[in-house]
Structure 1
């Protein structure tokens, strides 16, 4: 069954990369195959925390999509789009830099998926206003969200897993990861100037029109805006208070969505129009495929191989965890990978020659979080952004995303390498 699961995953991955088959069809077909041949059963696929669909992610996405759908009716996204374009004087690179920095900072305080759900609609409107192609801006924001989310305990799901295993606090993440993430963000913004240089030509007439607009006139329903922002603020506060409230983000998002729908008075057709059903189905299929690799022990074998290769050398251990985790996270979801590797690193740092070497934990996290930027399916934020882009008539191909993402992943990992070696 091991090789069957691996072959199915590779075939699905190849189909997604080739773009000859719709990615949702490929993922669901692959999930159907592993279920049909008995690699995983319904129990493992739909109810297991280790190998099943991560319903927390699915319902977090659904809840936030509903909230975004209600917010869209107020005109607030148009307001922010005009504000951002005016602050950047309509210059495309300044617009990209501003939106990327907003995304990265927000991803450190929220999770990166929530952030891109809120920022992507603004980006589409800004680009439309100044007459530039939105695809480079959306790709850049997805990459920025993954970099920014690395800095804090709540920014990326793998961080929560490691914090639980290693006993790290919110401040531990700020002290150990925030400094290098700040350097990466500066490098990333400069890199964007080179990577997307062909896309920084705006329409002068449209820019002039934007500069004359009053963003306050974009608000269509001030009463609904106040109610929506109050609910959104409560939801974001509850996300940040997860260690105190012990409420899963999915539960918070669903509660917020339900409350907002109840007080908005909108019809279901209005707020459900923005649900990215294809993205949700793609996630479900992908979770089952990755779960089948966990079930047959493929991910476990990789973890054991890394542990054996590390031996008793801290330098070798940090480099293998950093770069090995990056390569694997580019291909499979980093959540099951980190969940599998966490007990391995915990054992390595608890006894023997590597006891007390905290650098192994930070290397694992940097590799897993940053490696996800390398491909279009390497991180949840990437999948969400490509789904939003396609739905709005701006499809992002697997290879277009990967062409830019792989460069950013290598550069950020190259920055992380001396940081990890010198500090730990």
Structure 2
């Protein structure tokens, strides 16, 4: 009975988020409160459980990187990059989108995709304002690219870290098995951008000519703070990449970097915290509690096991069911708690299926990472970008994001089918 009530409350909160009847943070907090009220989860599970509680690693990673980005913003470096990118694209909107998409995808493979969109979003606002372009298509394209690019490596997408931990996979394992497909997906996605966002590519020759006369160096307002910020950011990035060696969680690295930056510069604590997206952080907390309640009541486990048992132990069918099932579920619930719930089931399937069954890990990673593009709440990066857009007075609705994300998800997951089949199953 509790499980049924939990599903009803979750669906109700999700409908409110999707229809934007009330603010998404209020909907997530209300849903979380009701689930705690009916004992679908409790304080211990919601706040302290690694598998069904708030993922504090995600929350503090976001907080640390938001502080670093806020300090960087004061140096004028984002204006510099915006002018540089616009000049290299010669004011042509599609060239500019391709440039930003490629930069985002590559950076997301080295950093996590949330950090990447935090860095690239301010640049996007500035360059779109300079060229009088609608910012929403560019932000949506970037976040979709970040989820695709982040699929390639262990550190690129948070679900990959969970999978690597459970399966004993290395950074190089992800590069060898997933990076070749991601390169193909990125090329296809760039081609799709030309069609999906064609209405945004309005070229203004006058504004383009004005951009070409600007000197990007003049945008830098505080060179000393810039070098201090870039030094800290470089150390943070290196620590992210060396995670398999250093064994410091990305959240710890981000918080240490933020603390060092505030302590070592003249930026006040109030200024450093000014640009933190508090509403986004609280929304994540509510969402984690709601999904955790579905884990605690056994709803997600039951759905996953039912889908798995339906394949009757056939590896090919199991792989494809896991790929599409993961994509579908990751579109509805955040892919981090989904993968945390599903990974023990996949571990049992791999153990029973023998060496060839390792393909199931790649099916889970591809389904969860690419499926996260389908809706506005499917992946952490999506939620962060929508929060930034709303804070800057350019809100992107749930459905505006989803109408593009769903198409990209179906195409990219469909392309993963022949890749998995011919490389591992044929």
Fold match, TM over 0.5? yes
Per the alignment, residue 237 of structure 1 pairs with 238
- Structure 1 position 156 matched with structure 2 position 135: no
Stretch deviating more after TM superposition (392-401 or 198-207)? 198-207
Deviations along 1:178-214, one digit per CA (max 9) or x if unpaired, are 0110000000000000000001013332221111111
Per the alignment, residue 248 of structure 2 pairs with 247
- Structure 1 position 320 matched with structure 2 position 314: no
- Structure 1 position 331 matched with structure 2 position 293: no
The count of residues paired between Structure 1 and Structure 2 equals 423
Distance change in 2, residues 1:152/1:249 (3 Å): same
Q: Partners of 1:36 and 1:17 in 2: how far apart? A: 23
| Unaligned stretches of 5+ residues in structure 1 | none
Per the alignment, residue 24 of structure 1 pairs with 25
Q: Partners of 2:73 and 2:367 in 1: how far apart? A: 36
The answer to whether the Cα contact below 8 Å between 1:348 and 1:355 also exists between their aligned partners in 2 is no
Per the alignment, residue 263 of structure 1 pairs with 264
What is the SS of the residue equivalent to 2:310?
A: helix
Per the alignment, residue 361 of structure 1 pairs with 361
TM-score with structure 2 setting the length:
0.98
Per the alignment, residue 180 of structure 2 pairs with 179
Deviations along 1:274-319, one digit per CA (max 9) or x if unpaired, are 1111101100100000000000001110121122012221110111
What is the SS of the residue equivalent to 2:373?
A: helix
Kindly report structure 1 stretches of 4+ aligned residues shifted beyond 4 Å.
Answer: none
Deviations along 1:211-233, one digit per CA (max 9) or x if unpaired, are 11111111111111010000000
Q: 1:214-233 residue pairs with structure 2 within 5 A?
A: 214-233=215-234
The answer to whether the Cα contact below 8 Å between 2:171 and 2:244 also exists between their aligned partners in 1 is no
Per the alignment, residue 394 of structure 1 pairs with 394
Per the alignment, residue 106 of structure 1 pairs with 107
1:132: how far off?
0.2
TM-score with structure 1 setting the length:
0.98
Q: Partners of 2:168 and 2:247 in 1: how far apart? A: 16
Q: Partners of 1:263 and 1:416 in 2: how far apart? A: 46
Q: Partners of 2:355 and 2:156 in 1: how far apart? A: 27
What is the SS of the residue equivalent to 1:369?
A: helix
1:158: how far off?
1.3
Per the alignment, residue 275 of structure 1 pairs with 276
Q: Partners of 1:33 and 1:273 in 2: how far apart? A: 31
Q: 1:13-412 residue pairs with structure 2 within 5 A?
A: 13-352=14-353, 356-412=356-412
